[in-house]
Amino acid sequence: MKAILLFVCCCVIASCKREAGNSESGAEAKAEIMLSKAPDNQVNATRLPPPVPAPDEEIASDFAAVEATRQPGLVADTARKIIKTGEISFETADVKATRARLIETTKKLKGYLAEESESGYENGRKNYTMNLKVPAGDFETLLEAISSAARQIDSKNIHITDVTAEFIDTRTRLANKKQLERRYLELLDKAAKIPDMITIENKLSEIRGEIESVEGQLLYMKSRLPTVRYRSRSTPGLLPWKPVKDSGTR
């Protein structure tokens, strides 16, 4: 809270008349402005104390200070955030057995099956597509498990995306909004008038909604586990086969 110090300068304006002794020039008066120091007791009597802000003025000042904290800060987090996406197409003798084996391996790696589809063709040939998600540290482990289950690998592709900057930005915004929420809670404790309380409560509701939104974004980013999308086929015999063009990794 800013303190206002008032300095009072007392000026005494006096006028005096000087009468000339010469009758020909007549009486001539001059106005003189004199600055004189007032007595100490007079200065003390005229000096006004600093005005005490009303409660609503204090709240308004603090409210403006809290709003000024909406500047982006910095959350220290230098760990790289990497998203890996792999796609592998291979041939196996038994699609269902391979599927069961890979799902079991995925669960052991604390991953999950995100998507799957099956399609059948003539001559008993079937195509099966699965989208598996596992933690980053087990990405290569799952790829090795798939490769070991394959009788023949047709194609394998791996894509890496660095989302470190996006992750840090989201965490920073979340930290700033939570700090702003704490400031508003402190301000609410100081509020004594109902209009001030209503204003602060509305701001708190707005900030909490923003916090939930950013937390949802952060949760989504954390849930984007490395993805392994594999396509297997079961062929009873040596039949000509061409890989079906994929629409892209999900």
The per-residue pLDDT for range 106-128, each reduced to its tens digit, is 999 988 888 888 777 656 667 78
Higher pLDDT: 231 or 110? It is 110
Domain total in the chain? 1
pLDDT single digits (tens) 22-32: 444 443 434 34
Query: Is 189 inside any structural domain?
Result: yes
Among 149, 147, 131, 156, residue whose Cα is nearest residue 224: 131
Q: Tell me if 117 is assigned to some domain.
A: yes
Q: How far apart are CA 191 and CA 183, in angstroms?
A: 13
pLDDT digits (tens, 9 = 90+) for 146-199: 888 888 888 888 888 888 888 889 999 999 999 999 999 999 998 888 998 999
Range of the domain at 147: 54-237
Is residue 16 situated within a structural domain?
no
CA proximity to 123, closest of 239, 242, 245: 239
Q: How confident is the model at residue 50 (pLDDT cuts 50, 70, 90)?
A: low
Q: Is residue 41 part of a domain?
A: no
For residue 6, being part of any structural domain is answered with no
Q: What is the pLDDT of residue 174?
A: 93
Amino acid at 2: K
Establish if 229 belongs to a structural domain. Answer: yes
